[in-house]
Structure 1
Amino acid sequence: MRISVIGCGYLGAVHAACMAELGHEVVGIDVDESKIENLSAGRAPFFEPGLGDLLSPDNARLRFTTDIAAAEHARVHFIAVGTPQVAGGVAADLTYVNAAVEALLPHIGPGHLVVGKSTVPVGTAARLAELVAPTGASLAWNPEFLREGFAVSDTLSPDRLVYGVDNRDDRAAEVLDEIYKRPLEAGTPRIVTDYATAELVKVSANAFLATKISFINAMAEIAEVTGADVTTLADAIGYDARIGRRFLNAGVGFGGGCLPKDIRAFQARAEELGVGHSLAFLADVDDVNLRRRQRVVDLVTENLGGDLTGKAVTVLGLAFKPESDDVRDSPALDVAQRLADAGAIVRATDPEAIETARRIRPHLDYVESIQEAISGADAVVVVTEWHQFRELDPAEVAGWARGRVVVDGRNCLDASDWRSAGWTYAGLGRP
């Protein structure tokens, strides 16, 4: 298949590279010249394990350009641009999706298939299908379910494929089956449905995961005033097959470029549809999540005598999750900023996210070395659960720091090991 991918950010760059890996001829298109230059040279413009291996400039099946006219040589066109929150609001900003489709219209015709992968409010696909129809092309919606840090494997070996198609279009599903032939032959489940259901699958999944995370964080708040241990609680209820243990890790909460903005946009769309009451609970999900960030700051403050002014605090982690350099709506970076605002002298480190963090918070002090970051610290705060931080030897770290306070914002450290090494350990929802 000849494929174009419009938008070469986190989603689009990975999708383009993986489609080439599946044997298709792919052109990735983006308006950002520096991004295209890096991708064309085989350099990933962001950290994603495995992506660099697929971006060889010698790969004849994969190329990148800023020229939308290059799409004319393709027959299937994936829309993979961002849908951020609108400025000053919570709804999804469809500026980039609309612009991508409008730019594509002069270059498509009968027999072409436009495939949406961006996360959009329900109803968007039907509207875009009307724009595409006069060209003779058709439209499908194929939502992505990528986890940053595992995006390559999630694309090459997805846990499910969802096709939203017009019920009058028998060809769209066949074309997508040809594109995804390898994962389908490997047993990937396939669901063919209407536009609205396909759009709702993605945002519903994100809303459910966000709710599950905030639920266990709400239980952590209860545990903190009762002396219960939320980690043991999560283990116990996680044995129930109806609940499951995944996404039941209490801590500083979720962030990134998907869950926060998607649940807010979902609420906004429900309001537009006149059923805002159906998703009213997501406001509480968001509130619980944001409260956990301040709780980490409060724990540091409580354990340093009630005042952070002039106290040296090390922040371990900047990305919103390990195996990523993404700091969009990152709880870790937010905690670092809140500590600095409270008067602490903050020194932060992360294996991959220092440069992306520096672009957003240039005034914070960033260092590459974990030892340098901890040296002379009054308190150490873990807010991204990179294995480099989880595996630290508390006895060795005690020789670097000035104080002996560790706040575990991800509940990922062995509390007994740290306490045995002389540290005052504080977790979220742990006695």
Structure 2
Amino acid sequence: MQPQATSTPPSGAPKPRLTFLGTGYLGSTYAACFAELGYEVLGMDVDEAKIAKLAAGENPIHEPGLDELLKRNLASGRLRFSTSYEEAAEFGDVHFVCVGTPQRADGMAADLSYIEAVVTGLAPHLRRPALIVGKSTVPVGTANWVEELAQKYKPDAVDVHVAWSPEFLREGFACEDVLRPDRVVFGVKTDWARQMLYAAHKALFELAATEDREVPVVVTDFATAELVKVAANAFLATKISFINAMAEVCEASGADVTMLAKSIGYDARIGNKFLRAGIGFGGGCLPKDIRAFQARAQEIGAGEALRFLHEVDLVNTRRRNRVLALAADLLDRPIGPAGPDFSGVRIAVLGAAFKPNTDDVRDSPGLAVAKALAKTNAEVVVYDPEATENARRELSTVAYAKSMTEALQGSALTCVVTAWDEFRRADPAAVGELAAERRIIDGMNCLDHASWIAAGWDYRGMGRSV
């Protein structure tokens, strides 16, 4: 029996009570932001240590603005955390699934085991009508499977609906993206699910109205909602790899990719965003999402349509290797069959996070560069303003500095691999006094190359003639 369409949540609360199942980067951000919007929110995770930290107001990730939101809403009582599925089921009307979907160890496909664990953990404890909403990035067809799981594990007398509403968060801007999204997508099958999703986002729409903004709402089917995020990520990855492929052509022809990108970016059909050539994309989304997209397309008989994403992935990987070639050129070292040998060379690697304003090192191009440089027998010293501890867990074969000054002291080569403001705004003359040799690779094309050259640095960019 389908619940009657009503504005009253099944819990009887004035607004739907929300749970966010999985309190990693995605779940913790959404939980704090929706509590800020005035909802009663419960963040749930099986990781007891993580929940203990969050409940104490300790944010386990670096995300601008999140610390304040977390502490303020814990203090208000609108936000709390738990490790209990039973408590989540008793508390919530709308349950958002926010767990990870990493790449499987045995191939390119997405690992859906965390989603399965959440649905099968929650459903048996539901005692009133509820809506389970997927936010995780998943292969097309997952929502139907989740619906089958929920129906299988829920009590017979309880109505459980499923919807899919993908997230579009940018690390470093995640709180703003939750509170002021450029669109929301509702993949639904029933009118009740649609009404509950609107009720769960009503405060967000009201905030937009007070700021004279509109939040576009796309109401669609399961499959389209699932495809929106992976299609968007595939497009962005393609655009990044396109300009990096052009960087390869520029390097071969003597052209300047920064001027090329500027010129084509004026075309409104192309735009200038994501046209900065560098060492490629990384993070917890784009690399694994384009691989999972290819794998799922192959499974449903559409593999040929996404063959281009294989080349997108290859271009991305090649750009990381370009740093080794530039380093060999700057250090005047030959590249043998096993690669260059930089024995006795101290190299400062500035950056470890996959992009600035985050401490996320998942599939980080910069960390991959540091690892490759370490294999050349160089003395590699890495500095990142926020990601050092995460980087140390991923790569223990290099040294880590506590400051940019410490990293640069005595270096024969400097590599900028994350475009932090601290590096972009550094004084090249002052920095030159720290380094043993003024050689620099601008792996993100983020420096004012003219000022570095004027300060006596031997500069190399990506896809640039200088």
Pick the aligned partner of 2:93 from 53, 75, 87.
75
**2: CA distance, partners of 1:310 / 1:329:** 28
Corresponding residue for residue 455 of structure 2: 421
* TM alignment of 1:230-241, pairs within 5 A: 230-241=257-268
The structure 2 residue matched to 1:243, chosen from 270, 287, 299, is: 270
Q: C-alpha offsets along residues 317-361 of structure 1, whole Å, 9 cap, x if unaligned?
A: 000000000000000111000000011110010000000001111
| Aligned ranges 1:152-301 → 2 under 5 Å | 152-166=175-189, 169-185=190-206, 186=208, 187-301=214-328
What is the CA distance between 1:110 and its match in structure 2?
Answer: 4.5
Aligned equivalents of 2:76 and 2:84: distance in 1?
19
Matched with 1:90 is 108
2:127 aligned with 1:121, yes or no?
A: no
Equivalent-residue separation in structure 1 for 2:108 and 2:202 (angstroms): 38
Cα separation, 1, equivalents of 2:244 and 2:52:
43
2:162 maps to which of 120, 126, 139: 139
Tell me the secondary structure at the aligned position of residue 75 of structure 2: coil
CA deviations 1:171-224 (Å, max 9, x no partner) are 112111122123324111100000000000000000000000000000000000
The 2-side partners of 1:190 and 1:183 are apart by 12
Q: Secondary structure at the match of 2:162?
A: strand
SS in 2 for 1:46: coil
Which of 59, 67, 74 is the aligned partner of 2:76?
Answer: 59
1:79 Cα deviation after fit: 0.3
Q: Are 2:337 and 1:319 equivalent residues in the alignment?
A: no
Matching residue's letter, 1:286: D
Q: Distance in 2 between matches of 1:406 and 1:333?
A: 17
Partners in 2 of 1:202 and 1:361 — Cα distance?
Answer: 30
Distance in 2 between residues matched to 1:234 and 1:184, nearest whole Å: 36
Work out whether residues 109 and 137 of structure 1, in 8 Å CA contact, stay in contact via their aligned partners in 2.
no
Moved more, 318-327 or 129-138: 129-138
Partner of 2:392: 358
Matches of 1:180 and 1:340, distance apart in 2: 48
Displacement of 1:414: 0.9
What is the distance in 1 between the residues matched to 2:194 and 2:181?
17
Unmatched 5+ stretches in structure 1: none
Relative to structure 2, which stretch is displaced further, 99-108 or 204-213?
A: 99-108
CA shift for structure 1 position 111: 2.4
SS of residue in 2 equivalent to 1:199: helix
Distance in 1, matches of 2:128 and 2:144, equals 18
Shift of 1:109: 4.5
Match of 2:25 in 1: 10
How far apart, CA to CA, are the structure 1 residues paired with 2:30 and 2:265?
33
Is the CA contact (8 Å cut-off) linking 2:38 and 2:203 kept in structure 1? no
Over the matched positions of the two proteins, sequence identity in percent amounts to 57
Deviation for aligned residue 1:59? 2.8
SS, match of residue 55 in structure 1: helix
Q: Give distance in 2, aligned partners of 1:343 and 1:418.
A: 27
Give the deviation of 1:382 after TM superposition: 0.2
- TM-score, normalised relative to structure 1: 0.98
Structure 1 CA distance, aligned partners of 2:274 and 2:87?
42
d(CA) in 2 for partners of 1:327, 1:315: 14
Counterpart amino acid of residue 378 in structure 1: A
Q: Distance in 2 between matches of 1:391 and 1:262?
A: 33
Q: Which residue, out of 378, 387, 390, partners 2:421?
A: 387
- C-alpha contact 1:319 1:350 (8 A) present in aligned 2: yes
Contact 2:412–2:437 under 8 Å retained in 1: yes
Given that 2:94 and 2:200 are in contact with CA atoms closer than 8 Å, whether structure 1 keeps it comes out as: no
User: Could you tell me which residue of structure 1 aligns to residue 62 of structure 2?
Assistant: 47
Letter in 1 for 2:169: L
- Aligned residue in 2 for 1:412: 446
- Is the Cα–Cα contact under 8 Å of residues 27 and 70 in structure 1 kept in the other structure? no
Counterpart for residue 32 of structure 1? 47
**C-alpha RMSD over aligned residues:** 1.0
Per the normalisation by structure 2, the TM-score is: 0.91
